Amino acid sequence: MLKHRFFGVQFFGIMLLSLLSLVVNLQAQTASPTLNDSKLDARVNALLRQMTLEEKVGQLVQYSAGSPTGPGTGRGDYPDMIAKGGIGSLFNLTGAREVNAMQKIAVEKSRLHIPLIFGLDVIHGYRTTFPVPLGMSATWNPALVEKAARVAAVEASSEGVRWTFSPMVDIARDARWGRIVEGNGEDTYLGQAMARAYVRGYQGASLQDPSSILACVKHYVAYGAAEGGRDYNTVDISDRSLRQAYLPPFKAAVDSGAATVMSAFDDLQGVPSTANPYTLTQILRGEWGFRGFVVSDWNSVGELIPQGVALDPAMATRKALTAGVDMDMESNSYATTLLQQVKSGQVPQSVVDEAVRRILRVKFAMGLFEHPYSDEAKSPITTLDPEHVAATRAVAEESFVLLKNDAASGAPVLPLSSTVKTIALVGPLADDAANMLGSWSTKGDAKDVITFRKALSDRLEQSQGKLLYAKGTDILSTSDTGFAEAVSAARQADVVIAALGEDAGLMTGEAASRAHLDLPGNQQQLLQALAATGKPVLLIVFSGRPLILNWEAAHIPAILEAWFPGIQAGPALVRTLFGDVNPSGRLTTTFPRAVGQEPLYYNAMNTGRPAGDVDLTRPPNGAGEKYRSRYIDEQSSPLFPFGYGLSYTKFQYSSPSLSAQSLTAASLNSGSSILTVSGEVKNTGSRGGSEVVQLYIRQIGTSVTRPVRELKGFQKISLAPGESKKVEFKLGKDELAFWNIDMKNVVEPAKVTVWIGPNSTEGSAAQFTIN
């Protein structure tokens, strides 16, 4: 009896729990509408029907309410405009209290109570600053990048920011372009993986989660292909290259649910990206089914005038809006000219309605009408969360790329022995907190940075070692007055560490293209003076792009590329140098030998007259050697290739084995067949380490030329000393299709070479045929 009663209670309890979880699940489902949810459309349309034309135009207008990131409008009457329903979004405003104050005007004073979205460039962390995005990409670890984006979302949202203008997924093949630092480098496949990771991290499981922020994938599109690497410059690439190389990371972000897209500054194939119906409407909405909204870049609507496709703000508005730019960031053109143009019939009302719909859909999807305010108890962020700090250190450690590690006096320079007695630390970036934050460290605080000097001196204190520090020179200095002190420190040391590189603010990021890619100022001369002491020298390079390091690579035994590593720069570097962690970063951009090689990228086409590296000390030996695709005064190969990076241990690769020798194009195109490529990787050294196993292909016999190599898979694996692991990759339609001669994305009959290897120039090959 008792037993039954107990069973009855238990049964009832279980039923109740299941019922509850059903309710919770149902709630979660209804509470987390995606942009595709048709229920949202009903709410959007109901609201739209109540709106005046003025209020509709207001939703399409965005202003910067804080420190500018471009030329401003001089406007500041935002409270008044908001109360009249004249603004849809503000950006560059942070702090829950500050944001709530503006939101209150929108929600309480405007006629229809439509909340604002607050945006900000949260590019690599909010307060907890992570390595710059190019550094993050060098981790080849999307899961880690997703975590970094989540940390950024949690911090930004707690300060009222629910929209970030990130990720930047522009493919960048030219190291001169300053904005190469903001993206994931030159490769499309890796760029897609990183794009997905950022979107997942920012937007979380549901847009309605108060800690989720909207992603804004930018700069749409091909902005990174600026001629000569000069920022904002013309882009004239083929449609095939656009679709093959530049568009896929945007599509990956959109497929992962990115709620917004930013149109770019560039002029693409003669049509500015901010007035381009082909990319903004035909491809983005038509082909990809994007249901979020497009915001312009800063004043890019206004810039249609100097670009020459608009005579005045009214024409700029017409062109941008009808092409598919829903929200005007900061140009003031929509706000001042759109109303009149709709009234006069120059802009159809339906175009305005559709743009408003897209913006309202996002506002509903993120639950802004239900929860317009931020929790003021969490803001401002006064202390750093230890878990967030640990996350940024982990990312920094995986971002470092060991470029060279030769023996100096018998053993490789790195890792440093724990008993090293005296280290001379030299260079303008050794103790520079501000630069460690990198460009776009919007809310990063130099006070949070632990510099390399500080971390190294703490470490040496523990081991009774001695640190001799001398700055030597400034980043851009031409004076050598500090050299003598630096050289004297070097003479007294067992090891010399030179911390050299770029100024993050001046030389990297937006409007920071460089025509010269050497170490700036007289830093190379300082390095030469240090090397002349005969002491083993380790060079740490802090940069937002590949630099030209020919002399350095020829004369300095150890080089570590550290990018701009964020607030944990010092601890991450020290742990790496002393071997607590083993470097596992790999280059995501090619390092050139000369500026004249740019744009230089690994997945280029072969020519009819390819040349390997040639002997430049003598004239070509006959016509066969002369008439080659080469420079007469420099090699064609890079100094360090894409995918490259060393470890403190060694990895050995088996030849790849394939699940089939031939497949048919038809079965690959229909998705009914897939090829498995596998290989063994062994750690043959005496330390544990992580390897980025990379899979490349080349297709020949196709209707259009295909790159000499293309990344189509990668896995980061860790291996204990002596351990082997089997690594498996799948090649199916996604990997093997390309934009063919008929501009169809299909798999074609081809002979395919497959490599599994440690970078884009090594690895052993296998072949298969597609019939």
- Reply yes or no on whether 297 is catalytic: yes
* Residue among 288, 192, 313 at smallest CA distance from 296: 313
- What count of Cα atoms within 13 Å lies in the side-chain half-sphere of residue 653? 23
How far apart (Å, rounded) are the C-alpha atoms in residues 382 and 380? 6
As a whole number of angstroms, the longest Cα–Cα distance in the chain is 104
Please state the φ and ψ torsions of residue 182, each to the nearest 5 degrees.
-90, -5
Nearest distance from residue 558's CB to ligand BGC, in Å? 36
Q: Which is nearer to ligand BGC, 130 or 163 (CB)?
A: 163
Map residues 566-595 to x or -, x wherever contact with ligand BGC holds by CB under 6 A: ------------------------------
Per-residue tokens: 574: 């020290």
- Closer CB to ligand BGC, residue 121 or residue 710? 121
- Please list the residues that pair with 268 across neighbouring strands: 235, 271
Q: Could you report how far apart the first and last alpha carbons of the chain are, in Å?
A: 73
Joined together, the tokens standing for residue 642 give 């894409």
Nearest partner of 343 among 34, 731, 763, 53, judged by Cα: 53
Residue with the two structure tokens 């002997």: 615
Rg of the chain taking only CA atoms, in angstroms? 28
Query: How far is Cα 620 from Cα 622, in angstroms, rounded to an integer?
Result: 6
Closer Cβ to ligand BGC, 232 or 651, answer by number? 232
How do 745-746 and 738-739 pair as beta strands?
antiparallel
- 8 Å CB contact between 674 and 660: no
State which residue, 55 or 326, has the beta carbon closest to ligand BGC: 326
Residue 518 CB, shortest distance to ligand BGC, in Å, is 27
Q: Which is nearer to ligand BGC, 149 or 558 (CB)?
A: 149
Q: CB of residue 302 vs ligand BGC: minimum separation in angstroms?
A: 12
Q: Does 69 bind ligand BGC (CB under 6 A)?
A: yes
Nearest distance from C-beta of residue 297 to ligand BGC, angstroms: 5
Measured from the CB atom, the residue of 126 and 165 that comes closer to ligand BGC is 165
* CA of residue 527 relative to chain centroid, distance: 31
Q: How many residues sit in the footprint of ligand BGC (CB under 6 A)?
A: 8
**Within a 10 A sphere around the Cβ of 674, how many other Cβ atoms?**
17
Residue closer to ligand BGC, measured from CB, 218 or 251? 218
DSSP assignment letter at 628: S
- Among 55, 98, 121, 155, indicate the residue that binds ligand BGC (CB under 6 A): 121
Query: In the complex, what is the shortest distance from the CB of residue 674 to ligand BGC, in angstroms, rounded to a whole number?
Result: 38
78, 165, 246, 364: which one contacts ligand BGC (CB under 6 A)?
A: 165
Q: Which of 146, 297, 502, 710 binds ligand BGC (CB under 6 A)?
A: 297
Tell me the closest approach of the beta carbon of residue 439 to ligand BGC, in angstroms. 11
297 or 397: CB nearest ligand BGC: 297
- 306 phi, psi to nearest 5 deg: -60, -30
Binding to ligand BGC by CB under 6 A, coded x per residue (else -) over 170-209, reads: ----------------------------------------
Are the C-beta atoms of residues 189 and 241 closer than 8 Å to each other? no
**Window 506 to 525, contacts with ligand BGC (CB under 6 A):** 510
Selected catalytic residue, list 121, 297, 326, 431: 297
Give the 3-state secondary structure of residue 555: helix
Residue 227 φ/ψ, nearest 5 degrees: -55, 135
Question: Which CB, 63 or 644, lies closer to ligand BGC?
Answer: 63
Nearer to ligand BGC, 219 or 630 (CB): 219
Look at residues 497, 613, 503 and name the one whose alpha carbon lies nearest to residue 556.
497
Binding-site member from 130, 298, 542, 648 for ligand BGC (CB under 6 A) = 298
- CA-wise closest residue to 443 among 161, 65, 63: 161
Binding status of residue 735 toward ligand BGC by CB under 6 A = no
Contact partners, residue 484, CB within 8 Å, separation at least 6? none
Q: Which residues contact 10 (CB under 8 A, 6 or more apart)?
A: none
Q: Within 10 Å of residue 652's Cβ, how many Cβ atoms?
A: 12
SS3 342: helix
Shortest distance (Å) from residue 265 CB to ligand BGC? 6
In whole angstroms, the minimum distance from the beta carbon of 70 to ligand BGC comes to 4
How is residue 413 written in tokens?
């320079």
Per-residue x/- marks for ligand BGC, 243-272, CB under 6 A?
A: ------------------------------
Residues sharing a CB contact under 8 Å with residue 770, sequence separation 6 or more, in sequence order: 662, 663, 664, 665, 668, 699, 736, 747, 748, 749, 750, 751, 752
Q: How far is the CB of 604 from ligand BGC (least distance, A)?
A: 27
Only one residue has tokens 């709530």, namely 100
- Where are the alpha helices (H) located in 609-716, listed in sequence order? 623-626, 665-670
Among 37, 41, 43, 70, binds ligand BGC (CB under 6 A): 70
Closest to ligand BGC by CB, 179 or 716: 179
**Shortest Å distance, C-beta 212 to ligand BGC:** 19
Extended strands (E) in 562-688? 651-653, 657-658, 662-663, 675-683
**Closest Cα to residue 676, out of 658, 664, 693?**
658
- Minimum distance between the CB of residue 185 and ligand BGC, rounded to whole angstroms? 17
Does residue 412 bind ligand BGC (CB under 6 A)?
no
Q: Which residues bind ligand BGC (CB under 6 A)?
A: 69-70, 121, 165, 218, 297-298, 510
Task: Give the active site residues.
Answer: 297
